Structure 1
């Protein structure tokens, strides 16, 4: 009896949700960094935290997915994203507490505050657990045949690009409300939680060389 085919679309939706949540913060991150005591260089460092730590976490999570299963590691990664957004939200809600004034020839003058420190921790933790991309690629490789792989990865690329298109647009719409930048961050928390639910209930553990829905 043939094995049931696994649809690629829940995985594409999870990938879209991941990039949507990530790109939500991009339009206003610089304003938050400046508000919490940072400068342009600190903004650049904050923006780089995710990709830098993803270089460390991505290969590790990809390796774990080979050992423990794609779904488990995808779930772990999405939970990490959710926790990082909760930390980010906390940074926006707590009082601005000065930790140290810094005057550096390399980094310029800025104030390290508690909210600014939490933003760095949130972005770094999200990057460290952000193995969605590498695991998603491995997952789709497991459930597709060689003849369909180019088409499937093309759709994965489309879902990624759509996330980066709609994320900043949604952030712009939400941030002009009376709630300001806090509303897009709340949206990111809810979106990442939706990703957890999708992985838990809609993404099955793949069997190598399965077939996807056309």
Structure 2
């Protein structure tokens, strides 16, 4: 039943906690990467693959998970996803061979593929048309916060052992599954789920539609955002450890402070900046800042300099994501489900290629990942010149 957000704060809180927990898993590994790399004698490319395999497994499972969410129900898929996530983190914490670590990350990606569409669909089911954009904005904020703050949480807990962050994640996700089972109710009836199952779309048809001019540049921007952030974040801990000798706690401090600053500014200024600049100029400004600072990251020295640069890079990415989401939402019209699904697909692609290429380039030269990320962001900036802010209606 659809109600205003203010009348169902607990349900919204549980849903946001679930998606936050899922995306926390992507970044949780980052601050302990140098320690795992040294202890298990792994290469930088292998560490990049460990992050990338999470995204590619999510990408593969997502089309099927979307259909299962309609067929079996949102609540069941949320709980199953959280339990799979808990298992994946427990396996990583216990793993002593790289193959076990890969298995863990694959399960983690599968869990995210289960949780994300289920939470999004649940929010759409229970919110009014007027409140839905705000609720979806909360979901986007939970994703951004989980993805960025993950390394911070992992770094602080790593003081008690490099495997402790994963045991911590296993516990909180298991508790999230329990709370979801007790508090959430299925948002659709059996008859409504059967109707939805009979109307499911084809993933490849949606993928083909995504390259239409009205969507293409925006989805490329989604890819660029995910690529740039994941490449930067994946290499950041390895880079900071090798070049500056930063500890996991140092890395966690930088990421956490940067995340807090970015979130505060996003909450206070994002709406005003969008009103003044518009989505397109806002996106272009963020791309300029992120690309310039990616290059600057290769020449700075010292904790304070790294902290300042990282703050501004995270801020640029944190403002870029909701600007893109807002643009896509306005463009989508009655195609919100299609746009949400393709947004997830292109994000997964970026989260795969960013860490994978970042790890490979790191083995050649520790500066190459930042330089390459900067180039990709500049290419994205160039593509926005072709971008039309007002779009015509698209045929299905």
Shared fold (TM-score greater than 0.5)? Answer: yes
- For 1:185, the equivalent position in structure 2 comes to 166
Describe the SS at the equivalent of 1:45.
helix
Match of 2:123 among 124, 130, 140: 140
Deviation at 1:18, TM superposition (A): 2.2
Give the number of aligned pairs. Answer: 184
What is the rounded CA distance, in whole Å, between the counterparts of 2:59 and 2:25 in structure 1?
19
Describe the SS at the equivalent of 1:207.
coil
> Please, what TM-score do these two structures have when normalized by structure 2?
0.43
Is the CA contact (8 Å cut-off) linking 1:23 and 1:164 kept in structure 2? Answer: yes
Task: Considering fraction of residues, name the structure with more strand.
Answer: 1
Deviation string, structure 1 residues 57-100 (Cα, Å, up to 9, x no partner): 12211210100101111111111111111111111xx4xxxxxx
Structure 1 portions without partners, runs of 5+: 95-114, 210-214
Match of 1:88 among 81, 89, 92: 92
What is the rounded CA distance, in whole Å, between the counterparts of 1:3 and 1:168 in structure 2?
36
Q: In the alignment, is residue 9 of structure 1 matched against residue 13 of structure 2?
A: yes
Is the CA contact (8 Å cut-off) linking 1:33 and 1:116 kept in structure 2? Answer: no
> Please, what TM-score do these two structures have when normalized by structure 1?
0.77
Q: In the alignment, is residue 149 of structure 1 matched against residue 153 of structure 2?
A: no
Q: In the alignment, is residue 124 of structure 1 matched against residue 124 of structure 2?
A: no
Is the CA contact (8 Å cut-off) linking 1:21 and 1:188 kept in structure 2? Answer: yes
Deviation at 1:134, TM superposition (A): 1.8
| Cα 1:173–1:3 shift into 2, 3 Å | closer
CA RMSD of aligned residues (A): 2.2
Task: Considering fraction of residues, name the structure with more helix.
Answer: 2
- For 2:184, the equivalent position in structure 1 comes to 203
Is the CA contact (8 Å cut-off) linking 1:80 and 1:126 kept in structure 2? Answer: yes
What is the rounded CA distance, in whole Å, between the counterparts of 2:171 and 2:25 in structure 1?
9
Describe the SS at the equivalent of 1:120.
helix
Q: Relative contact order (C-alpha < 8 Å, sep 6+): which is higher?
A: 1
Bigger mean CA offset, 179-188 vs 73-82: 179-188
Is the CA contact (8 Å cut-off) linking 2:25 and 2:169 kept in structure 1? Answer: yes
Of structures 1 and 2, the larger Rg is shown by 2
